[in-house]
Chains A and B, each alone.
Chain A
Amino acid sequence: MATASAVAYRPPRVARRRTRQAVLVWCFLAPSLAIFLLYRIVPLLWNAVLSFTQWSPLRAMRWAGLDQYEDMLHDDVFWQALWNTLIFIASAPVAIAIALGLALLVSSDIRGRDVYRTIIFISYPLMTVAVAIIWRWLFDERVGLINYVARSLHLVDRPIQFLDSFVWALPSVIVANIWQMLGFYMIILLTGLQNIPPNLYEAAAIDGASAYRRFLRITVPLLKPSLFLCIVIGMLNSFTSFDLVYVMTGGGPGRATELLVTYIYKLGFSQTRFDYAAAVTVVFFLLLVSIAWMANRLSGGNVGAVERD
């Protein structure tokens, strides 16, 4: 602190400090911004431009106006993939609800709660490709554990072809996804819960509010930021789950588990329709942004963890 007190008496010049501040701020932001510029924004613009053209690594670029977007209207697969993606995103709230329940349980001061927390979280750090392999096999028709259990409990008489059936494929993938994400949601919500000052509860308890009312009136409102974060992550899942779908079902049977990401990937690399893929990407991007915006509105306009000022 010696140096500190030595310089302590220099009168701070507000203007200079402000510019210094601005410089500092931008210097600090620069590296991250650079990365995102290179690997997010430029590619996004690239897609945006591409979506109005006809291009492939093999063909020179040609202006195509809105053709790609028009194609999308007639493309049943696109709509199917969009629908699946929305279901996938819609499954997040379910997972979040379960996670919230777990968070409430492990936040109660019981013995060994840290162990529970760890166990429940531990599925998140796993490599998605491996998770997919594991679950693909748990769901296996002939020797999968799930069918085995179901059959020995006589829940079903014939084994279910989970990943090969149009009815079960998507739910199966979603289950695997929830299994992996549950812990992550739980931890986030847990943090939210722990940031709720306990005295609020005590006060409410004194006012004789039932546990249920306390939950509705205090917990939920104060959890909104965490919930919002969970929703955002749930949305991002609809493309971080690429590996999951890719390995478990490859989008099949038919298009039953085709998500927009897997479709974009296939369009580009197996059909060489990067131009069209770009158009789908743009639509997907706008979709996610709008969902995020709505989620933000719902969580009371403040994007919580994500923004606070």
Chain B
Amino acid sequence: MHRYPRWPIHVALTGVSFVMLIPFYWVLKTSVTGENIFAYPPSVLPKAPHPFYYVDVWYYIPFARYFLNSVVVSALAVAANVIFNAMAGYALTRDFPAKRFVLLLFLSCMMVPFQATIIPAYLITGRLGLLDSYWGLALPQFSTIVCIFVFKASFDAVPRSLIDAARIDGLSEWRIIWRVMMPLAKGAIATNVILGFIWSWNNFLWPLIVTRSAEMQTLPLGLARFLSYQEDTTGALYAFCIMVLAPGILLFLMAQKEFIRGLTSGATKG
């Protein structure tokens, strides 16, 4: 299909990219200048940029500590995600009684708004003795339905014949999974890593409820606290936004090839 001119596409996409990126630029600019929070009209290019807002943020909350907490929690969540979702996804490629029921169960689980589950979730976590701990923070995120279906789809994409052949060879289920399935599910793994990370990293309400001690706070809580003090009155707030967003963006940029391939590897093969 080479019959159409390219430049309109480029124009359109450049325009869209511009719209997508302008907020980033604006926040970045403000985070190094503090301009245009009260001054009008705003200057489009930063004047006299300086890093001091970042310094302020760094000392405003125990940033390193909160950062570490966020990293640990996200790491736990991601690891558990990949394993559990892969297992569940694999199971769902098999035919077994009550499969339909399980699928519908998963589907409807997606429809439960978290905000309404806070209290029971808290009590349960308490029962498990995990309050105010990394495990307690991460546990609700240990398995995510969307990712289960991503795995299922990419496993489905594996030709049956391959599996049957392996089975005829007498490979055990485990070997089939590790030797045959996993290598073919790289993309799904990348997808799961990224999504799992994003969802856990950005989680705000649950840490708020389940953490008690100051040492267990995560970055989003730091951001909320910061907001409650500084409101929009300082470039530091936007510096904070950048510092909070950077890790997610970095991870995405690093893994995006696998990620996009992951989704394109047939996340929605129907």
CB of B268 within 8 A of CB of A261, answer: no
Which of B147-186 touch A at CB < 8 Å?
148-150, 152-153, 156, 168-171, 173, 175
A143 to B139, CA, bound (A): 42
| Residues of chain B within 8 A of A21, CB atoms compared | 94, 96
CB of A44 within 8 A of CB of B260, answer: no
CB of A138 within 8 A of CB of B106, answer: no
| B110 close to A (CB within 8 Å) | yes
CB of B268 within 8 A of CB of A305, answer: yes
Q: What is the predominant secondary structure among interface residues of chain A facing chain B?
A: helix
- Comparing B5-13, B45-53, B54-62, the segment that makes contact with chain A is B5-13
Known interface pairs A39-B124, A226-B268, A236-B110. Does A29 touch B252 (Cβ–Cβ under 8 Å)? no
CB of A110 within 8 A of CB of B9, answer: yes
| B263 close to A (CB within 8 Å) | yes
| A116 close to B (CB within 8 Å) | yes
Contact of A118 among B37, B100, B253, B265 (CB under 8 A): B253
A40 to B87, CA, bound (A): 19
Q: What 4 pairs between A and B have smallest CB-CB spacing?
A: A43-B117, A225-B270, A28-B91, A281-B116
Residues on B facing A (Cβ under 8 Å): 1, 4, 6, 9-10, 12-13, 16-17, 19-23, 26-27, 36-42, 80, 83-85, 87-88, 90-92, 94-97, 99-100, 102-103, 105-121, 124, 139-140, 142-143, 145-146, 148-150, 152-153, 156, 168-171, 173, 175, 194, 198, 201-202, 204-205, 220, 223-224, 227, 232, 237-238, 241, 244-245, 248-249, 251-253, 256, 260, 263-270
Residues on A facing B (Cβ under 8 Å): 1, 4-5, 7-8, 10, 21-22, 24-29, 31-33, 35-36, 38-44, 46-47, 57, 102, 105-106, 108-111, 114, 116-130, 133-138, 140, 142-143, 145, 148, 152, 179, 182-183, 187-188, 190-192, 194-195, 201, 222, 224-226, 229, 232-233, 235-236, 239, 242-243, 247, 260-262, 264-265, 268, 274, 277-278, 281, 284-285, 288-289, 292, 302-309
